[in-house]
């Protein structure tokens, strides 16, 4: 590779003992990326939002970002099949300064920080936090890009709520609020994996009224990963896409460390394969991965999987930059 094009920031390997000046390895960063709060010379930043005030059941996702960072893993060739840091430069941006208990100020911080990142043309890779944080993120996407397409992996639709949803955001209504504030291009957005608690048969009405397509878990199990991936790809087309991944999309057997787990989900292999086959080649402008509550997983498998999913997000970005249009093992 041309020397000038070598990405500026990339992970430090654990066996590298040399520590060149100004390129220090800080313990506990995502994938051993350098911990620098910069938006220059980077393609993506990994940032944490340790906010869990709006969780309905078991709280504790404030510890998610650090648990995901520290899980064993890191960006690797295996899977999509790309050496991501031949193409990409990225840093660990640290955490946004949110205040648990103070929703309005925290949301303001999230939107401001996200806008800063997006205006610099950098792809944010966000570690949550509960799912409520995706709403202020989407406000920033709207301000910079206009309404965006959404690919939403989850076991819940998160479009609940009524009249007061804009005044009282929770982790059950981020997408209702996002739709109400024109953040989403619903015609080209899709939700995948829904199987969560329904209060009644009207729970999905709001999404349907706004033409937000859903693939239910039962249907996904029937149609298989690759057909679902194809549906997702067709739905979003060449639009600018935000990917939001709630870890409870995955079955509790594989990801117990979350506030509202729902059985009947997907294995870690199915999940990773779906992420790879659905996302490579799409015009992705941002990711988040939310709802990891490490205190509920003593074996640390949840953060292990979350770490891997985030690594695949980064590999997708690299594949896109390398000019790949699709996942090369698609359907095989």
98 near another protein, rule: CB under 8 A: yes
Contacts of 298 (CB under 8 A, 6+ apart): none
| Beta bridge partners of residue 283, listed in sequence order | 240
Distance between CA atoms of 289 and 267, rounded to whole angstroms? 17
Distance between CA atoms of 317 and 315, rounded to whole angstroms? 5
| Smallest gap from residue 76 Cβ to another protein (A) | 20
105 near another protein, rule: CB under 8 A: yes
Q: Residue count of the chain, please give it.
A: 332
Among 31, 155, 170, 258, binds another protein (CB under 8 A): 170
| Smallest gap from residue 197 Cβ to another protein (A) | 16
Nearer Cβ to another protein (44/87): 44
How many residues interact with another protein (rule CB under 8 A)?
42
Residues in contact with another protein, shown as a per-residue x/- string from 16 to 55 under the rule CB under 8 A: xx-x----xxxxxx-----x------------x-x-xxxx
**Tokens matching residue 198:** 């329904």
Distance between CA atoms of 69 and 125, rounded to whole angstroms? 12
* Cβ 114 vs Cβ 140: under 8 Å: yes
70 near another protein, rule: CB under 8 A: yes
Nearer Cβ to another protein (6/100): 100
Distance between CA atoms of 331 and 230, rounded to whole angstroms? 10
Nearer Cβ to another protein (69/176): 69
296 near another protein, rule: CB under 8 A: yes
Sign of the CA dihedral running 46, 50, 52, 53: negative
* Cβ 326 vs Cβ 229: under 8 Å: no
Strand pairing category for 44-49 and 283-290: unpaired
Among 94, 143, 180, 216, binds another protein (CB under 8 A): 94
* Cβ 194 vs Cβ 213: under 8 Å: no
Which residue stretch of 12-20, 209-217, 220-228, 247-255 sits at the interface with another protein (rule: CB under 8 A)?
12-20
Q: How does DSSP assign 253-288, residue by residue?
A: TT---SSS--SS-B-HHHHHHHHHHHHTTSEEEEEE
Nearer Cβ to another protein (134/239): 134
**Tokens matching residue 8:** 């500026």
Nearer Cβ to another protein (101/162): 101
Distance between CA atoms of 281 and 148, rounded to whole angstroms? 16
Token pair 């995901």 is found at: 68
Nearer Cβ to another protein (80/98): 98
Distance between CA atoms of 306 and 292, rounded to whole angstroms? 8
58 near another protein, rule: CB under 8 A: yes
| Smallest gap from residue 56 Cβ to another protein (A) | 7
96 near another protein, rule: CB under 8 A: yes
| Smallest gap from residue 321 Cβ to another protein (A) | 26
Strand pairing category for 283-290 and 240-246: parallel
218 near another protein, rule: CB under 8 A: no
Nearer Cβ to another protein (65/286): 65
Nearer Cβ to another protein (59/281): 59
| Smallest gap from residue 137 Cβ to another protein (A) | 17
Which residue stretch of 14-22, 221-229, 277-285, 309-317 sits at the interface with another protein (rule: CB under 8 A)?
14-22
Contacts of 332 (CB under 8 A, 6+ apart): none
Among 8, 38, 39, 66, binds another protein (CB under 8 A): 66
Contact residues for another protein, defined by CB under 8 A: 15-17, 19, 24-29, 35, 48, 50, 52-56, 58-60, 62-63, 66, 69-70, 92, 94-103, 105, 168, 170, 295-296
């Amino acid at each position: 590779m041309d020397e000038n094009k070598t990405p500026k920031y990339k992970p430090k390997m654990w066996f590298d003992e040399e520590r060149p000046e100004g390129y220090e390895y800080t313990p506990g960063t995502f994938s051993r990326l350098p911990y620098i709060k910069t938006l220059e010379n980077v393609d993506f930043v990994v940032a944490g939002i340790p906010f869990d005030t709006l969780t309905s059941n078991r709280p504790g996702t404030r510890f998610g970002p650090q648990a995901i960072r520290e899980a064993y893993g890191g960006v690797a060739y295996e899977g999509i099949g790309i050496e991501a840091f031949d193409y990409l430069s990225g840093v660990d941006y640290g955490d946004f300064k949110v205040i648990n208990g103070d929703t309005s100020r925290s949301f303001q911080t999230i939107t401001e920080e996200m806008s800063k990142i997006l205006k610099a043309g950098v792809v944010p890779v966000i570690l949550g936090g509960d799912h409520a944080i995706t709403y202020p993120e989407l406000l920033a996407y709207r301000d910079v890009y206009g309404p965006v397409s959404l690919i939403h992996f989850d076991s819940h639709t998160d479009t609940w709520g009524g009249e007061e949803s804009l005044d009282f955001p929770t982790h059950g209504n981020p997408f209702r609020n996002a739709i109400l504030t024109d953040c989403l291009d619903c015609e080209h957005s899709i939700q995948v994996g829904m199987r969560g608690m329904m209060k009644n048969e009207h729970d999905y009405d709001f999404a349907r009224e706004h033409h937000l397509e859903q693939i239910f878990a039962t249907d996904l199990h029937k149609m298989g990963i690759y057909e679902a991936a194809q549906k997702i790809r067709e739905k979003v087309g060449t639009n600018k896409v935000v990917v939001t991944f709630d870890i409870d999309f995955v079955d509790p057997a594989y990801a117990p460390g979350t506030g509202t787990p729902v059985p009947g989900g997907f294995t870690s292999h199915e999940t990773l394969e779906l992420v790879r086959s659905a996302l490579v080649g799409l015009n992705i402008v941002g990711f988040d991965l939310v709802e990891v509550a490490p205190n509920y997983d003593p074996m640390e498998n949840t953060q292990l999987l979350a770490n891997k999913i985030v690594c695949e997000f980064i590999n997708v970005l690299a594949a896109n930059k390398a000019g790949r249009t699709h996942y090369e093992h698609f359907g095989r």
